[in-house]
Structure 1
């Protein structure tokens, strides 16, 4: 890719949270293929190292930064260490997330708290810690991973839907506060993708049949189909895009 390409990430450094597997690892690989140096974050150092080795085998540059994104002090220390020992963070992919399913009237407080902590608090903690370094430099890209559930709900996942709706509006709030400093903060909202988190749904024949009928594209998404949107939001191509949530959902939010 020419270095002057609008979509080139050459010379950029991207921190990807929740990057040891699934969408996080796919996006890390995709950004690396467009030239970015990747910092892989997650809680499990062993899984992160496996991910780093897998990228390295394909000639892609990555380092690991294990810390708990739900612990604000750990986040601040982790980001400071990256900035000091690795280099400036130019791009943040705020991807770490979990799912819990249960009827709303039976939903456990512990599961509610876990969803809020991982899906919402962590987005604020990491976004704020990274932005504190980006703002003095006058540039930076933050991509918060939202969801089709930022707009829609389904039975059994109301608390998850609440967190992803909040991430959508937090994204808009970040852009409102930080765009004046040269940052672009946007959301990337996957629809239904065949991931480890969705394994039970993928294997549920009735659900898959419903999804294929409900989605205009008539299929599950593949995680590699998120790379183009992530590269766009991480590159100079989106230099005047701020507070936007880009749906990558096969048309499910466009159709009744």
Structure 2
């Protein structure tokens, strides 16, 4: 994977309205490569909407998002796809593809090169710890195994994202997984950041955010309330207020 710290993904005054309701209001946020930024907040806070805007899947009604100072709307779609990939909560495939074939789909934005594409597919499968699944039918895999294959697919998509870096966006990647797979996915996200990727993840589990994030952005009611190191952003008084329950130091309900 190639990257350069020059790259930056920036939301500037982003506002998004749906059916007359503000989903996001004047959100400004900058992310840089080599770090895992986690978005947290209660249901309806606007986390996934913000991630969609950062991915270029949702066009803001106000403000804008830039990648390397160029608005996402100005990027040619295939060029943008080579620079950023988004892993949704669940990806359903009804076809009888093998895991290797699913990962190879990630190479579609690139100019075909059989030797290079095969090498990157192998590397992505290994990076996602999915190599042993390569010849199995995707539909026969468990939820956790499918998520590992999908992680390999998006890694293959941005493996050579250009000299200015690539971005991995994860929308609740731990949803529906057992504890072991939740920690596995977050460890992989950390490893991707360590390799130089910019990684942004939406998480519901505050303890996972505290354990794995380099930075945390706290959203509520469509507004960005806090952005900083986990120890600063995950303030128990603030979190107790926005979640509406008293939270203790481990972010479980404080019954004392």
**TM-score bucket of the superposed structures, by smaller chain:** 0.3 to 0.5
Richer in strand (by share):
2
Which has a greater percent of helix? 1
